[in-house]
Amino acid sequence: MLGAIAGDIIGSVYERRPIKTTRFPLFHPLCRFTDDSVLTVALADSLMNAVPYTDLLKQYYRAYPNAGYGGAFHQWAQSKSAAPYNSWGNGSAMRVSPVGFAFDTLEAVLDQAERSAEVTHDHPEGIKGAQAIASGVFLARTGNSKDQIKSFVETRFHYSLDTPLDEIRPRYEFHVSCQKSVPQAIRAFLESDDYEDAVRKAVSLGGDSDTLACMAGGIAQAYYGGVPDEIARKVYELLDEPLGALNRRFSEAFGCLG
């Protein structure tokens, strides 16, 4: 899941500040981890320690209350209720990459992606977005080609992945829905040459750049066999000790190369 976290950090400074190019400093001085990283680690913690998703999402929110959460998640996390709020936002998809690494079958990944999403994002689009990213991670790490990943996502989730980034980029704006960000993030991965290129392409779309890069980065890590060492080192410098340590334990437990 380090690939997702690195994407979040790299894209963080460009959220709502579209640059529309792949040529930018990979780690801007103001880069930081956001709610994408915090909640990704929360899901990883849940998977490693068999703690309900709801419990740890709320616990991590309390530990990092200023990480940049959406308004509906803020209200949910601060409330005593465990009921979901029918969201179709990409919060379900940005945090799901650990699920793609933690299970041995596609069926289990799809089931757990749904379970991880529906505690907050129980709208069909929120569930679908999480399943699409998680299955992309799983298929990438189990040796499937980009064409096979593309075909599965298009067939199973009815996302259109044919539009080139060069056609998407000029008119792409800030979107938080799964249906208007998950396909674009997957397309960024599909057009990439390596891990860094996938993140750069996702950021170049503009809009919700940290989440786009988080989603693309999770799949890219799985497909390209890890995150380049120089990127991984910088990410661990920017994470605090608890988040970094949990990521390392998860990577060791599930064989995710950093």
pLDDT values of the chain reduced to their tens digit, one per residue, 258 residues:
899 999 999 999 998 789 999 999 999 999 999 999 999 999 999 999 999 999 999 999 999 999 999 999 999 999 999 999 999 999 999 999 999 999 999 999 999 999 999 999 999 999 999 999 999 999 999 999 999 999 999 999 999 999 999 999 999 999 999 999 999 999 999 999 999 999 999 999 999 999 999 999 999 999 999 999 999 999 999 999 999 999 999 999 987 765
- The sign one gets for the Cα dihedral 210, 212, 215, 221 is negative
Q: What is the DSSP letter of 89?
A: B
Looking at residue 75, what is its pLDDT? 95
Domain total of the chain: 1
Of residues 200, 87, 178, 192, the one with CA closest to residue 134? 178
What is the CA 16 to chain-centroid distance, rounded?
Answer: 18
Q: What pLDDT is attached to residue 238?
A: 97
CATH code, domain with 142: 1.10.4080.10
Q: Which amino acid is present at 158? A: H
- Cβ neighbours around 12 below 10 Å, total: 24
Instruction: Note the pTM of the prediction, 2 decimals.
Output: 0.97
- CA 172/CA 196 separation, integer angstroms: 21
The reported pLDDT for the residue numbered 57 is 98
Note down the domain range covering 9.
2-254
Residue 197 phi/psi, 5-degree rounding, is -65, -35
Contacts of 221 (CB under 8 A, 6+ apart): 1, 2, 3, 4, 6, 97, 137, 195, 227, 256, 257
